[in-house]
Structure 1
Amino acid sequence: MSLTIADLEQLQQEHPDWQMELVEGNIIVMGPSDYEADEISIRFAAKLWNWVEPRRLGRVTGSSAGFILPRRATDNTTKRNLRAPDVSFVVAHRLKRTQRDFVELVPDLMVEVKSKTDQIDKLEAKIQMFLSLGTAIGILIDPDQLTLTVYRLNQQPQVLRDGGVLTLPELLPGWELAISELWPPVFE
């Protein structure tokens, strides 16, 4: 049985505490992230938002913001995917007014943070799917390896480690993020 976005919305009304995605007609119930992965997501989103907001460059959202993705040109089905990256950024002119609904577009930047139960290959496949639909940059943060990998369509991934600095000049000229700032501090 292939489900639709309307089916997902009905399930969300019945189960408002569940976080779900719709992938190829199948509903995926997302479990909560581990504490460290979520803290890293928030740290990334906060640093991004602190740059974006005063400059009115666009919108930054977290893992609960759903994107209704366009069908691929090669897709012969009526299935629509609804996905929610851990962190997203949409340039201001593409979403001038926020919506009280899922948005029908791909974010310009999407970020996935590997939780302890995630599989890297599935996260990479999600990032590649977003890139193929028009996302400019996908990022995978792996707390286990202390790496941040930047993906762009038809380019080799760029792996950054502690001591490295993330820049995204095509989306956020002047923004810099030291990779070491992503890792949660240890309190004495």
Structure 2
Amino acid sequence: MSALTTEPNFLMFPFGQTGQHLRLRGGLHLTDRHDFGVFCDDNKDWRIERSAHGELIIEMPTKGFTGTLNAYLGFQLFGWALQDGTGIAFDSSAGFELPNGAMRSPDAAWVRKSQLAALNDAQKQEFLPLVPEVIFELRSSSDRLAVLEAKMIEWQSVGVRLGVLLDPLERQVQIYRLGQTPQLLSNLTTLDCSPELPGFLLDSQAIFDAGL
């Protein structure tokens, strides 16, 4: 992919056939935490992650009903978190710096307030250098299931206590708990997220039906 020079300190990369572009300032090293943050700030319209091997994973804005499904998921998690009061819920715009060097942005996440209290003010303004206790990933029509499953294994390997992969295409839910074998559930109406999220019953059917 060739680079087109547009400004003295910027390179612009055509991305696919959409007419949209990525901007990369000359001299940035994207394995560096600060530089990677600058790159993400310069390309706010894209969802950008970094793998443990330093590879960039770039996604377009969500298509079709995926944004609606994300909203249904976030609405439920945020509502429970406000009532519970022991942690903070995050949407897909939040990035987490993981111990393996990856920077990941799950579709939704929950972090204990005690984890956040250990961070200083500067750290709270950057990608959060911590592992969420609970994460949710939502499969879209363009997502390969095997790629998402590998991502869930990564979440599990860095210490996420509960990972939930929602697959509206197959109406299935995969559960990843720390130290346990993944569990596949089909035609589920509600998912009990206890004990990691005490009392939280995720209405998975409402999320799946939102895309109909």
- Category of TM-score, reference length = shorter chain: 0.7 to 0.9
The answer to whether residue 58 in structure 2 is matched with residue 29 in structure 1 is: yes
Q: Equivalents in 1 of 2:209, 2:161: separation in Å?
A: 27
- Which residue, 41, 44, 47 being the options, matches 2:76? 47
TM-score by length of 2: 0.75
Equivalence map 1:15-164=2 (5 Å): 15-23=43-51, 24-71=53-100, 80-96=101-117, 99-164=124-189
Q: CA 1:185/1:11 → structure 2, altered by over 3 Å: closer, same or farther?
A: closer
Residue 174 of structure 1 is matched in structure 2 by 199
Q: Equivalents in 2 of 1:2, 1:45: separation in Å?
A: 30
Say which SS state the counterpart of residue 135 (structure 1) adopts: coil
**How far apart are 1:116 and its partner, in Å?**
1.1
Q: CA 1:5/1:170 → structure 2, altered by over 3 Å: closer, same or farther?
A: same
Say which SS state the counterpart of residue 95 (structure 1) adopts: helix
Say which SS state the counterpart of residue 173 (structure 1) adopts: coil
Deviates further, 92-101 or 49-58: 92-101
**How far apart are 1:170 and its partner, in Å?**
1.9
Deviates further, 178-187 or 151-160: 178-187
Structure 2 unaligned residues grouped into runs of 5+:
1-28
Q: CA 1:183/1:7 → structure 2, altered by over 3 Å: closer, same or farther?
A: same
Say which SS state the counterpart of residue 116 (structure 1) adopts: coil
Q: CA 1:133/1:185 → structure 2, altered by over 3 Å: closer, same or farther?
A: closer
Number of aligned positions between the proteins: 179
Residue 18 of structure 2 is matched in structure 1 by none
For the 8 Å contact 1:147–1:162, the answer to whether it is kept is yes
Q: CA 1:13/1:154 → structure 2, altered by over 3 Å: closer, same or farther?
A: closer
Sequence identity (%): 28
- Which residue, 8, 29, 32 being the options, matches 1:4? 32
Deviations 1:82-119 (A, max 9, x none): 11011111122212378222110111111111111111
For the 8 Å contact 1:20–1:28, the answer to whether it is kept is yes
Q: Equivalents in 2 of 1:103, 1:162: separation in Å?
A: 35
**How far apart are 1:42 and its partner, in Å?**
1.6
**How far apart are 1:53 and its partner, in Å?**
0.6
Letter paired with 2:96: F
TM-score by length of 1: 0.84
Q: Equivalents in 1 of 2:56, 2:126: separation in Å?
A: 18
**How far apart are 1:139 and its partner, in Å?**
0.9
Q: Cα RMSD (Å) of the superposition?
A: 2.2
Higher RCO structure (Cα 8 Å, ≥6 apart)? 1
Larger-Rg structure: 2
